[in-house]
Structure formats: C-alpha cells, structure tokens
Amino acid sequence: MSANYERKIVIVGKTGNGKSSLGNVLLGRRAFDEARSFNAITKECKVETDKGNVSIVDTPGLFDSDGEKNFVMQALEVQKAIKLCPNPHAFLIVLNGSTRLTQEELSTIDVLRIIFGEQCLTRAIIVLTHIENNEDETQLRGRFGKSDGMSNLIKQCGNRFARIDNREPKPEHKERINSLVDQVSRAGKVSFKNEFLYVREQVLQKALKTHDSGKVHEQIKRLSEQIKHAEEEEFNRKCWKAAGVGAAAGAGAVCVVAGIAYLGGGSEAVATVVTNPETAQVVIEKSVNVATGMIGFISSAH
Ligand SMILES: Nc1nc2c(ncn2[C@@H]2O[C@H](COP(=O)(O)OP(=O)(O)OP(=O)(O)O)[C@@H](O)[C@H]2O)c(=O)[nH]1
Ligand SMILES: [Mg+2]
C-alpha cells in the first residue's frame, strides 16, 4: 500500500474513454456519472474529495466532435479544472486501451500544452482503461510496441503509464496509479503551478470570437503560436517590472534586465523576483542571451 499522501488529481481525455469511471475507482465510490453513450456524459468539471486526502477533478471529454461545443470551448471548459482544484499533483490522461487511437487523440499532448502549458507534462501519467485483467504485462507492452502513436504519447509523458479495467479494478493497478502520482509529486510535496494560465485563457477566449471553427490540428498550431507570442510579451512585461522601470513596454524591456544580468548585477535577484525558482534559470539564460546580442549590436554600430 502506498502511503496516505495528499493527492489532487485532474483526469482528462477523449470523451467516453472512461474518465468518470476511473475517478470513481480512485475514490472508491460512485462520485461521478458514468454511462455508455454516443453523447458526452460529463459536461462540466467537477471535483470530489474523499477522506480529506484525495481530490479528483473529472473533466468533460476532449474531441467530442458530435457535441455542440467546438475545440476551443472544450479547452476552456477543461481549463476550469485548475480553478476548481488549484495546484494539482498530477494529470491522468485517459486512453482507451482496447481501441485504436483517433487522429485527434494523437495530438492530446499538444492540446494539454495549450490548455495548461508545458509544466503539466512533467506531472502527466497515461492511464489505459478497458484493459482486461487477463492480458499480461508482456502482451500489453508488445501491443504498444507496434503502435508508434501510443509509444510516442507514453514517451512524452516520461514513460509513465498505468493500466486498469474500471469495471473490475485490481488493487495493484489502482496502487500503481497512486504510486505514479506520488512519484511526480514527490510524495505530495510538489504540485502544478502555472503562472501564465490566464494568458492561455485570454488567447482561447479571443480565438472563440475570431475563429470558432477549423480542424483541431490547424487550431492547435495557430493557438500554440498565439500563446507563445502572448507569453513572451507577458514575460517581457514582468522583466520590465522586476527591473523597476514601470509600465513602459517596448523592445528595450528585456535589455534592461539583460544588462543587469550580463553585468552580473543581481541576475539571481531579478530572476527570483520575476518568477518562481523553477523557472529562474530560464530567465537568467534568456537575459544573458539577449544581453550578448545587444552588446554585439552596440559594438557593430560603433
Ligand atoms: N469494460 C470496460 N468498460 C469501461 C471501462 N471504463 C469505462 N467503461 C465504460 O465505458 C463507458 C463510458 O465510461 P465513462 O466513465 O462515462 O467515460 P467518460 O470518459 O467519463 O465519458 P464522457 O463523460 O462522456 O466524456 C461506461 O459504460 C463505462 O462503464 C473499462 O476500463 N472497461
Ligand atoms: Mg465522464
């Protein structure tokens, strides 16, 4: 038995893959509606907590092409999971292990990047449902080996995966999920924090107004670019602020911080003010890069 650490878990995946069923298995009671249906059953995010140490967020399905919600609306709805349950320890990506992955499912990781940002991937675990208990581990791995799509998804999640038959869950399979959650959260000590979540929400809201149709793949590409741009702008704005220059945004913003960093004057301090320790190194590196470029430019101009 794994220890009784706090576990805050967000469950995501394609509609009908068994997200709600998995939530019920992990909580040990029927907390979420589950049903066999051609239409999506879960329409909104819902959080349920048990015995004070396990919180599960069930989310509506992604890629529900028959529903009235388009990709952007679905993404916005799933994003609410973090509002209901801030700083979760892990994200379980539910895939149906008995059917082939759809084209959309192959882009699940990119979709999660758009919804929650890169950081969620370090806490992502693939859970394969509908795996009958009589299929042994070797057979299962043999099956993955033949699917580039599946192997790729698992690889992108740091090779973390678990299996389960939600109808007849075996204690050891449930236990494996819990121990993977403990592994990514270092026994409940570290959790997901996304300081740019609001930027993502804004970009998605804007996308909803300007282009609410289009294939998922095209939207993913377009949204990824927009989000990257918006986050860079926000990053620069924070650099300005941290450098104490005020609200005057512009190309010189990064240079101010870059100059401080390059000259060795308190780059650590700037980075710490700018962001949390996890991303401090990125700030320093970025600042030094920009400073190097700036000094190169100044030298060539004289
Ligand atoms: N045999 C088998 N059936 C499962 C498994 N997991 C879920 N199901 C069944 O699949 C159907 C859909 O399960 P749900 O848990 O409602 O799926 P969901 O992902 O929450 O679906 P939406 O809320 O519509 O997005 C139900 O009839 C479940 O009983 C599993 O591991 N094995
Ligand atoms: Mg559901």
Which residue, 88, 153, 84, 94, is CA-closest to 119? 88
- Look at residue 36 in the predicted model and tell me its pLDDT: 86
Angle at 13 between CA 201 and CA 49, to 5 degrees: 80
- Look at residue 212 in the predicted model and tell me its pLDDT: 58
Helix pair angle (197-210, 216-242), 10° resolution: 140
C-alpha distances in Å from residue 195, one per residue of 158, 198, 216, 293: 23, 8, 25, 28
Q: Cβ atoms within 10 A of the Cβ of 229, count?
A: 12
Pocket test for ligand 1, best of 20, 39, 131 (most atoms within 8 A of CB): 20
**What letter represents residue 22's amino acid?**
L
Residue 92 CA from chain centroid, whole number: 10
- Look at residue 145 in the predicted model and tell me its pLDDT: 86
C-alpha to C-alpha distance for 62 and 206, rounded to whole angstroms: 20
Cβ partners under 8 Å of residue 66, min gap 6: 38, 39
- Look at residue 37 in the predicted model and tell me its pLDDT: 83
Map residue 54 onto helix, strand or coil: strand
C-alpha to C-alpha distance for 131 and 247, rounded to whole angstroms: 55
Protein residue with its CA nearest to atom 7 in ligand 1? 18
CA 114 to centroid of ligand 1, rounded, Å: 25
Low-confidence ranges of the chain (pLDDT < 70): 1-3, 65-68, 211-214, 242-302
pTM, two decimals, is 0.82
Note the pLDDT tens digit of each residue in 84-129.
999 999 999 999 999 999 988 999 999 999 999 999 999 999 999 9
- Look at residue 285 in the predicted model and tell me its pLDDT: 61
Angle at 196 between CA 208 and CA 95, to 5 degrees: 70
- Look at residue 40 in the predicted model and tell me its pLDDT: 83
CA 22 to centroid of ligand 1, rounded, Å: 8
C-alpha to C-alpha distance for 194 and 171, rounded to whole angstroms: 33
Protein residue with its CA nearest to atom 6 in ligand 1? 18
- Look at residue 178 in the predicted model and tell me its pLDDT: 95
Average pLDDT, the chain: 83
| Ligand 1 neighbourhood includes 173 CB (under 6 angstroms) | no
Percent of the chain with pLDDT over 70: 76
- Look at residue 96 in the predicted model and tell me its pLDDT: 95
- Look at residue 284 in the predicted model and tell me its pLDDT: 57
- Read off the tokens for 14: 């394609």
